[in-house]
Amino acid sequence: MTSDILIIGGGVIGLAIAVELKLRGTKNVTVLCRDFQAAATHAAAGMLAPDAEIIQDQAMRQLCWRSRTLYPEWTRKLEDLTGINTGYWACGILAPVYQPPTSPAPRESPAYWLDQAAIHQYQPGLGNDVVGGWWYPEDAQVDNRLLAQALWTAAKSLGVDLKDNVTVEGLIQQQGQVIGIQTNTEGMIRASHYVLAAGAWASELLPLPVRPRKGQMLSLRLPDFVPELPLRRILFGENTYIVPRRSRSIIIGATSEDVGFTPHNTPAGIQNLLQQAIRLYPQLQDYPIQELWWGFRPDTPDELPILGTSHCENLTLATGHYRNGILLAPVTAEIIANLICEQKSDSLLPNFHYTRFHTQPSTAPMLTHSANFTNGHRAIAPLPTPDSPLPDSPLIIAGKTFQSRLMTGTGKYRSIEEMQQSVVASNCQIVTVAVRRVQAKTPGHEGLAEALDWSKIWMLPNTAGCQTAEEAIRVARLGREMAKLLGQEDNNFVKLEVIPDPKYLLPDPIGTLQAAEQLVKEGFAVLPYINADPMLAKRLEDVGCATVMPLASPIGSGQGLKTTANIQIIIENAKVPVVVDAGIGSPSEAAQAMELGADALLINSAIALAQNPAAMAYAMNLAAVAGRLAYLAGRMPIKSYASASSPVTGTINS
């Protein structure tokens, strides 16, 4: 089965994109939805609240405002198509407070401060302890469930092929393209272009840092004895919001819980919501409860959506809308349709590109964000992100600063996608590439220019496959050109490998030293791969190498640290960074090398040949961080005899 454009996700984002694509004349559009009712779309309250949500990020504010502006026309168009009134209502939002603000927040959008007398006059019935509040006249609401219904109906009437209760199990990728998707009920489905709009479930298909953030909600029904809706605007309290609908429902939201996909309403969640809502607007306490529900917001580390191109040329991303999916639906549809139909990239899009998560400087750089990696159907849960308890300096090589102490490679992966996912998961900033393999277009090395984001990843060209100093020098020069072609004009790094021996792949010390001398003269930052020979390491440092890279055991052997004593001496004597390279097979060995005081690690085979490379890459990153921290923390001395954990001094002897 083929389709022009296949959208994964039948929430408000996926449907809005489908409708927009159809309206622009796309012939075949398919939407796959795992469970229409489970989408965050249904759980939302439908606030269109860029002002009340106090969005700090400038680009995000622009995006939200643009979308809010599109709403009246967009919902009218949907009504024309379907006859469904979505309940769009420019009702404004009132945000009462219990403490007078210490300083008025600088606001670019219309927001009016109402003092105690004014707010109680403007909105009778507020809790006694409300001392004032902000009035956001431009914020609005839509009935999100009616909107979902309108979008579904519009999509259907425009000829979108809508499939509910279909779970996408995998994106099948080949050479930078999605070539099909595997589903649980429909087998393989192919399209020429794909859109991932799977909300909180996006990370089950790609290693994107999207996580569920649960929200519990409830609604009340305005009793018959209250003839008129007493609330004519949304109340946005400090820990709750109350959204009155024209239909006489009153929505109360929402908890914000980091509990994964744990379903159900809980007594604590509902109690908390009710308490806050009654404090804000006490008369609610007598209204009948209509419904309780919950949903999962698609949260991202910076709470901004992930929009735009992906690592695959025919896959567009539109997910991670967190608290603002309903609001952002029309602008997302417009921007994504422009991108797909007209290759027009909106000026705001770079702010929302997925690559922003690839590097993130901090004292605990490698733990600052996490992603889910799936192993079959088992999701590996993201780990917590502790702050580094110890200050650390970054890794500096030839004057260039790196936050990550793990370097990886591109060789031996089963597919280019596994390589890409692993590089992301490892959080590395340096990736070594065999110049010869790129030249020869060895499998996995074609399309490398597009495969990784070279604006974020520093390329370390290596001279693998060179048996003599002369060959290595020639290949190093080619490597420099290669880095230039990728836009790294100032990249003069080379990982020098001179390996005449095909069986053990042990480097030639004399050839390495000769080549290093020459390359340093030519202005290269030379990172020589060597046997763990302290004398050689010193000589290489003396000729001006930028690092030394002693092997832990033979390349690709996964034998672990076989040269510990010598590596220790190299670390003790080196004034340049020591990068332990080759032979590390597992995270425990990676951690051990870092505990010795190595400045960094280069790991390729142990990641590429793991059953789940991305998960192993993630584990190696954690090991490198843990080992580094342990080194800084200083391990306890090893003793010959036991020593009791509870001291005996000061105890009472009877």
Which residues form the interface with ligand GLY (CB under 6 A)? Answer: 45, 47, 215, 253-254, 297, 323
Name the residue nearer to ligand GLY (CB basis): 57 or 392: 57
**Smallest gap from residue 215 Cβ to ligand GLY (A):** 5
Eight-class DSSP state of 351: G
| Closest residue to ligand GLY using C-beta atoms | 323
Would you name the residues annotated as active-site residues?
495
Least Å from the CB of residue 84 to ligand GLY = 22
CA distances for 393 relative to 401, 402, 403, angstroms: 10, 10, 9
Minimum CB–partner distance for residue 488 and ligand GLY (Å): 41
Q: Measured from the CB of residue 191, what is the shortest distance to ligand GLY in angstroms?
A: 31
Q: Choose among 35, 85, 427: nearest CA to 247.
A: 85
Distance CA 19, CA 156 (A): 9
Helix axes 534-542, 509-521, angle to 10 degrees: 20
Are 26 and 195 within 8 A, CB to CB? no
3-state secondary structure at position 83: coil
* Whole-Å CA distances, 595 to 365, 461, 582, 622, 633: 18, 27, 17, 13, 10
C-alpha to C-alpha distance for 133 and 108, rounded to whole angstroms = 17
Residue 179: CB minimum distance to ligand GLY, A: 36
Considering beta carbons, is residue 16 or 546 the nearer one to ligand GLY?
16
Q: Quote the CA–CA distance of 485 and 12 in Å, as a whole number.
A: 41
Q: Is residue 75 within 8 Å of residue 83, measured between CB atoms?
A: no
- For residue 183, CA distances in Å to 170, 192, 222, 596 come to 7, 17, 43, 47
**CA 324 to CA 307: how far, in whole Å?**
13
**Integer Cα distance of 532 and 566 in angstroms:** 6
Written as six digits, the tokens of 183 are 């589903």
Minimum CB distance to ligand GLY smaller for 215 or for 330:
215
Q: How far is the CB of 235 from ligand GLY (least distance, A)?
A: 13
531: left (phi over 0), alpha (psi -120 to 50) or beta: beta
Residue 241 Cβ, how far from ligand GLY at the closest point, in Å? 7
Helical (H) or strand (E) element with 115: strand 112-115
Peptide bond into 254 cis (omega under 30): yes
What CA dihedral angle connects 635, 636, 638 and 644, to 10 degrees?
A: -150
Kindly state the smallest distance separating residue 214's Cβ from ligand GLY, in Å: 10
How far is it, in rounded angstroms, from Cα 149 to Cα 85? 10
Closest to ligand GLY by CB, 292 vs 609, is 292
* Shortest Å distance, C-beta 305 to ligand GLY: 13
| Residue 418 neighbours by CB under 8 Å, 6+ apart | 608, 613, 614
Nearer to ligand GLY, 109 or 566 (CB): 109
- Our CB check for ligand GLY shows the closer of 9 and 176 to be 9
Contacts of 68 (CB under 8 A, 6+ apart): 48, 50, 138, 139, 140, 327
End-to-end CA distance of the chain, in Å?
85
Q: What is 17-42 written as a DSSP string?
A: HHHHHHHTT-S-EEEEES-GGGSHHH
> What minimum distance in Å lies between the beta carbon of 326 and ligand GLY?
7
* Nearer to ligand GLY among residue 294 and residue 373 (C-beta): 294
Nearer to ligand GLY among residue 311 and residue 323 (C-beta): 323
Beta carbon nearer to ligand GLY, 200 or 254: 254
Q: Which is nearer to ligand GLY, 279 or 297 (CB)?
A: 297
